[in-house]
Structure formats: structure tokens, C-alpha cells
Amino acid sequence: MSDQSIPLSIQDLTVAWHRRPVIWDVEFDVSPGRLVGIVGPNGAGKSTLLKAVMD
């Protein structure tokens, strides 16, 4: 693996918890070198989104 940044592209991400969709149809791209913030109120799905992306 090189030291270059790898871009991130998420398309049509849906996450279910106990068979109930909690995040649906998420799409985004993160270009190399970009700083991205995920903000929202408690329970909005920020941690769930990050966990799904990391799996």
C-alpha cells in the first residue's frame, strides 16, 4: 500500500438495526486531502454511519 490518500465513495448505503432501516440511500464522496465533519443531534445516526462505512 502506498502513502497516497485513497478517496472514499459511498453509494446507496442503507443500514438497518433489528430489521428496521435507520439510515437509507446515503451517497457521498470524500476526495483525498479533504476534511469532513459529520454533525447532528444525539441519535441522528452519526456513529452508525461511521461504523457502517468502516465495515
Given a cut of 60, whether residue 1 has pLDDT beyond it is no
Domain that holds residue 49: 8-54
pLDDT of residue 4: 61
List the grid coordinates of 28.
457521498
pLDDT of residue 55: 85
List, for residues 16-34, the tens digit of each pLDDT value: 999 999 999 999 999 988 9
Query: For residue 23, is it within any domain?
Result: yes
List, for residues 40-51, the tens digit of each pLDDT value: 999 999 999 999
Query: For residue 2, is it within any domain?
Result: no
DSSP-derived secondary structure for 26-51: EEEEE-TT--------TTSSHHHHHH
Q: Which residues contact 25 (CB under 8 A, 6 or more apart)?
A: 12, 13, 14
Domain count, the chain: 1
pLDDT of residue 5: 65
User: Which strand (E) or helix (H) includes residue 24?
Assistant: strand 20-30
Given a cut of 60, whether residue 15 has pLDDT beyond it is yes
